[in-house]
Chains A and B, each alone.
Chain A
């Protein structure tokens, strides 16, 4: 187990959004603009790293039977911190992400990593895992929100992409657009994987 590999796995082979399919609710809901996507990604990254580290530190003291409530309490504490900090320093972002910042509490990626990784590994690896998974999540958020913002609003991070003549596909900003974007991206990935594995077997 090398630290580099543990860090990289969240980017592609075990990408939380496209591979593990965990925590899809915030991905679908907050990917309407790149700005929101980055904000949500950063908030999740912070909570993931902090909860992984704390859970790993106290993993030997947690009784197995009540571990899930303890994990959720630790996660809820960090979410409260993120919520208050964001409301204080980035009120606009906090407003547009709305309820989804608080819903990080029940985001399955964070609980999933706590259960599957942080409760079994030492602090250093738990930190690396949280960082890798969080970055993988943030990158997926940026990818999805870029597609939706460019097609649905004609802008990227607020910059005009197609010029003023572009007639935006409003559907991409609305809820169906989120499902279509992620569904098609997942299909593309599985097509790509299928091709890659068939190439490997041909050789």
Chain B
């Protein structure tokens, strides 16, 4: 893992190993917040930001603190506390300094704590033993991959509103099937670069 270029990890986590379409992380908010492009974009940006930051923080905490002290088994509790604290902190900063950003982004921040993509990225980073730089690129790439997926989904769903869909398929049914088709398209990327 050590000699893998950060850029390879970055692009691999957007396309071949998309956090949502390949690893199924962050499904709940993906399905519930993908009705409009604007809100999808807001949530996607917030997720990207939090992911990059928590990947960096958790990397330092795990490899500098937990592992030397032999406390690896505490990682779930520590990671989730770090994520919750980061989200809370960002919310406070954004609220204090930028009213406009808070209105657009603020409502999504509490949702992010329980978005499993965030914890998932931190855990993948530990399992694959990325270096600090690799972790930051992995976090940013995964966030952008998630943003790309939810943005595409929101675009499709906005168009779908005007289409005639069989009533049984409406709602989650059609959303999941479209996600499946998107995942098929992303399967086409696999083989270009491989991480794991």
Contacts and interface: CB of A to CB of B under 8 A. Distances in A.
Contacts of B73: 80, 84
Nearest to B179: A179
A54 interface: no
Contacts of A139: none
A169 interface: no
A76 B24 CA distance: 20
B28 A99 contact: no
A184 B181 CA distance: 13
Nearest to A182: B176
Interface string A78-93: 0110011000000000
B120 A99 contact: yes
B172 A21 contact: yes
Interface residues of B, number: 44
Given A176-B183, A183-B174, A183-B177, A77 B77 contact: yes
Contact of B173 (A99, A111, A187): A187
A106 B168 contact: no
A102 B22 contact: no
B101 to A, nearest CB: 23
A175 B24 contact: yes
A113 B67 CA distance: 33
Instruction: Determine which residue in A80, A106, A178 has the highest number of CB atoms from chain B within 10 A of its CB, and name it.
Output: A106
Interface in A170-197: 171, 174-180, 182-184, 186-188, 190-191, 194
A179 B169 CA distance: 13
Contacts of B127: 98-99
13 contacts: A22-B28, A69-B84, A73-B81, A76-B77, A80-B77, A103-B120, A103-B123, A106-B80, A174-B187, A183-B177, A183-B180, A187-B168, A187-B169
Q: When A and B form their complex, which 8 residue pairs have the shortest distance between CB atoms, in order from nearest?
A: A183-B176, A179-B180, A191-B168, A187-B173, A183-B177, A28-B24, A29-B24, A24-B27
Interface of B: 21-28, 31, 73-74, 76-77, 80-81, 84, 113-116, 118-120, 123-124, 127, 166-177, 179-181, 183-184, 187
Interface of A: 21-25, 28-29, 68-69, 72-73, 76-77, 79-80, 83-84, 98-99, 102-103, 105-108, 111, 171, 174-180, 182-184, 186-188, 190-191, 194
